[in-house]
Structure 1
Amino acid sequence: MTSTATVTAGTTRRWTILALGVLAQAAQAVLVNGTAFLIPTLHEQSGMSLAQAGTLASAPVFGVVFGLVAWGAVADRHGERIVLAVGPALAAVATAAAAFAASAGATSGALAVLLALAGAAASSANSASGRVVVGWFPPDRRGLAMGIRQMSIPLGVALAAMTIPVVARDHGVGWALAFPAAACAIAAVACAIGIADPPRPERGDAEAQGLLGNPYRGSTVLQRIHAASVLLVVPQYVVWTYALVWLVTERGWAESAAGLVVTAAQFLGAASRVAVGVWSDRVGSRMRPLRIVTVAVVVSMAALALAGLTAGPVAIVLLVVASVTTVSPNGLAFTAVAEVAGPYWGGRALGIQNTAQFVAAAAVGPAFGALIGTVGFGAAFAISAAVPALAIPVVPNEHRKNPDTESRP
Structure 2
Amino acid sequence: MTVPRKAIVESFLFLCPIFGYKIYMKKGRPIITFAVLAAFFVLSQFYRVSSAVIAPSLVAELGLDAKKLGLLGGSFFYSFAILQIPMGFFLDRAGPRLTMSFLPAIGALGAFVFSYANEFESLLLGRVLLGIGMAGALMGSLKVFAISYPRERFATLSGLLMSSGTLGNIIGSSPLAYLSSSIGWRRTFQVFGAFTLLLSFLLWFVLRPTEDKMSKNGIFQIKTKETLLLVFKSLSFWQIGTLAFFRYGTFVAMQGLWFGPYLISIKGFSPLLAGNIIMMLSFGIIIGSTIAGYLTDKVLKCAKRAVLMGVSLYALFILLFVGIVDIRSTLLFYFVFLLLGLFSSFGVLVYPHVKTLFPGEISATVMSGVNFFTMAGGAFFMQVMGNVIHLFKAPDGSYPAHAYHFAFLFCFLGLSASLLFYSFSKTGKEYGD
Q: TM-score, normalised by structure 2?
A: 0.80
Deviates more, 1:133-142 or 1:123-132: 133-142
Instruction: Write the letter of the residue equivalent to 1:226.
Output: G
Q: Which moves more between the two structures, 179-188 or 65-74?
A: 179-188
Q: 1:55 to 1:210 in 2, by over 3 A?
A: closer
Cα distance per residue 1:266-285 (max 9 Å; x no partner): 13312211110110112221
Q: In the alignment, does 2:239 pair up with 1:239? A: no
Work out the percentage of aligned pairs sharing the same amino acid: 13
Change beyond 3 A, Cα 1:69–1:45: same
Q: Write the letter of the residue equivalent to 1:144.
A: T
Whether 1:164 aligns to 2:180 is no
Whole-Å Cα distance in 1 between the matches of residues 426 and 278 of structure 2?
34
Which of 75, 85, 102 is the equivalent residue of 2:91? 75
How much does 1:144 deviate?
0.9
Change in 2 beyond 3 A, CA 1:179/1:63:
farther
What is the CA-CA distance between 1:381 and the residue it aligns to?
1.9
TM-superposed deviation, 1:289: 0.8
Alignment of 1:142-181 (within 5 A): 142-168=154-180, 173-175=185-187, 177-178=189-190, 180-181=192-193
- Look up the match of 1:379: 406
Matches within 5 A, 1:5-404: 10=26, 12-39=28-55, 50=66, 52-101=68-117, 104=118, 106-107=119-120, 109-168=121-180, 173-175=185-187, 177-178=189-190, 180-197=192-209, 201=213, 203=215, 206=218, 214=227, 215-216=230-231, 219-242=234-257, 243-251=259-267, 253=269, 255-282=271-298, 283-306=300-323, 309-313=326-330, 314-330=332-348, 332-375=349-392, 376-395=403-422, 396-403=425-432
Structure scoring higher RCO (CA < 8 A, sep ≥ 6) equals: 1
Change (3 A) 1:39 1:202: closer
Aligned length: 395
Per-residue displacement from partner, 1:261-319 (whole Å, max 9, x unpaired)? Answer: 33343133122111101101122211111111121111011113337855432344323
In structure 2, C-alpha distance between the alignment counterparts of 1:70 and 1:114, rounded to whole Å = 21
Displacement, 1:166? 4.3
How far apart, CA to CA, are the structure 1 residues paired with 2:221 and 2:190?
48
* Root mean square deviation of aligned Cα: 3.2
**What's the offset of the Cα at 1:372?**
3.0
AA matched with 2:70: G
- One-letter code aligned to 1:312: S
Q: Could you tell me how far 1:241 is from its partner in structure 2? A: 1.4
1:70-123 per-residue CA deviation (whole Å, 9 max, x = no partner) reads 22222111111111211112101111111110xx3x12x331232112201210
Please state how far the C-alpha of 1:208 moved relative to its aligned partner. Answer: 11
Q: Distance in 2 between matches of 1:308 and 1:198?
A: 54
1:176 and 1:365 map into 2 onto residues whose CA distance is: 25
- The answer (yes or no) to whether the contact 2:84–2:368 under 8 Å persists in 1 is yes
Structure 1: distance between partners of 2:68 and 2:326: 25
Once the two structures are superposed, what CA deviation does each residue of 1:194-221 show, in whole Å capped at 9, x if it has no partner?
1225587553662799899634276422
Deviations 1:334-371 (A, max 9, x none): 12233433443122222211112211211222222333
Looking at structure 1, the residues matched to 131 and 308 of structure 2 have their Cα atoms a distance apart, in angstroms, of 30
**What residue identity is the alignment partner of 2:164?**
S
Q: Is the 8 A contact 1:294 1:329 kept in 2?
A: yes
Aligned residues of 2:45 and 2:166 also touching (Cα < 8 A): yes
1:104-148 CA distance string (max 9 Å, x none): 3x12x3312321122012102132111101222223222111111
Provide the secondary structure at the position in 1 that maps to 2:427. coil
Secondary structure, aligned partner of 2:302: coil
| Distance change >3 Å, CA 185–CA 254, structure 1 → 2 | farther
State the shift of 1:177 in Å: 3.5
Change over 3 Å in CA distance of 1:32–1:329 after alignment to 2? same
Segment of structure 1 superposing worse, 148-157 or 266-275: 148-157
Greater Cα shift, 87-96 or 372-381: 372-381
Q: Is 1:127–1:350's contact at 8 Å kept on the other side of the alignment?
A: yes
The higher radius of gyration belongs to 2
* Structure 1 range deviating more: 364-373 or 147-156: 364-373
When normalised by structure 1's length, the TM-score is 0.84
The gaps in structure 2 that reach 5 residues or longer are 1-21, 393-402
CA distance in 2, matches of 1:83, 1:122: 11
How far, CA to CA, are the matches of 1:138 and 1:265 in structure 2? 30
| Alignment check: 8 A CA contact 1:231 1:390 kept | no
